[in-house]
Amino acid sequence: MKTVKDYIRTIVDFPHEGIMFRDVTTLFADPRGFRMAIDQMLHPYAGMQIDKVVGLEARGFILGGAIAHQLTVGFVPIRKKGKLPGAVISEAYTLEYGEAVMEIHDDAIKAGERILVVDDLLATGGTAAAGIKLIERLGGEIVSTSFIIDLPELGGRKVLEDMGMDVQVLCEFEGA
């Protein structure tokens, strides 16, 4: 029987030499694999009150939209700087070389709303941590974070857990 991990392909030396890119587009393209991933991501939250799902750019939008639909709750995107119209709040975070900025609409989450944060991959945790800070600045209460893939060697899980987050993952891959 196939697992979610079996649907994910690895592309060697992308986007740079030495990187093992974990490509979830093959998982998304397969109807059984995609359903399996969404169902497994939903499972820990059965019967739990969640008000909104937040998806992190960009593959988190695909997962977050499907999960929000299944939970019958709203979906909120957190995007890279300059992509959202209207009033936003921003959070900068460090990348391997430089800095990036994530943004959310300043009215996307109301104080006290219970939020599930979703993305495809947890590496260093920088993007997720920035998203969590944005949600918390708006008064959202994060129920959990959910990812398809964890790259344990890069330490993202520990970063999020040190922030007090519950972290759920479907599979792990060794290496960066």
Give the domain CATH number at 74. 3.40.50.2020
pLDDT in tens, 18-34: 899 999 999 999 999 99
Average pLDDT for the chain: 96
Question: What is the predicted pLDDT for the residue at 97?
Answer: 72
| Catalytic position from the list 17, 96, 99, 174 | 96
Of 73 and 15, the structure prediction assigns the larger pLDDT to 73
- Whether 91 sits among the annotated catalytic residues: the reply is no
Question: What is the predicted pLDDT for the residue at 176?
Answer: 64
Assess if residue 53 is contained within a domain.
Answer: yes
Do 145 and 117 contact (CB within 8 A), yes or no? yes
How many other C-beta atoms lie within 10 A of the C-beta of residue 2? 10
Residue 114's closest CA among 150, 91, 86, 140?
A: 140
Cα radius of gyration rounded to whole Å, the chain: 16
Assess if residue 92 is contained within a domain.
Answer: yes
- Whether 137 sits among the annotated catalytic residues: the reply is no
Assess if residue 11 is contained within a domain.
Answer: no
Assess if residue 19 is contained within a domain.
Answer: no
Give the largest Cα separation in the chain, rounded. 47
| pLDDT surpassing 80 at residue 175 | no
Assess if residue 25 is contained within a domain.
Answer: no
Domain of 128, in residue numbers: 46-172
Mean pLDDT of 7-16: 94
How many other C-beta atoms lie within 10 A of the C-beta of residue 54? 27
Question: What is the predicted pLDDT for the residue at 95?
Answer: 79
Assess if residue 30 is contained within a domain.
Answer: no
Reported pTM:
0.96
pLDDT in tens, 54-109: 999 999 999 999 999 999 999 999 999 999 999 999 999 987 677 999 999 999 99
Assess if residue 162 is contained within a domain.
Answer: yes
In sequence order, the β-bridge partners of residue 123 are: none
Assess if residue 52 is contained within a domain.
Answer: yes
Q: Are strands 74-80 and 52-56 parallel, antiparallel or unpaired?
A: parallel
Question: What is the predicted pLDDT for the residue at 122?
Answer: 97
Number of domains in the chain: 1
Do 142 and 129 contact (CB within 8 A), yes or no? no
Prior bond to 15 cis, omega within 30? yes
| pLDDT surpassing 90 at residue 2 | yes
Q: Residue 83 corresponds to which tokens in the numbers above?
A: 């992509």
| Catalytic position from the list 22, 59, 79, 157 | 59
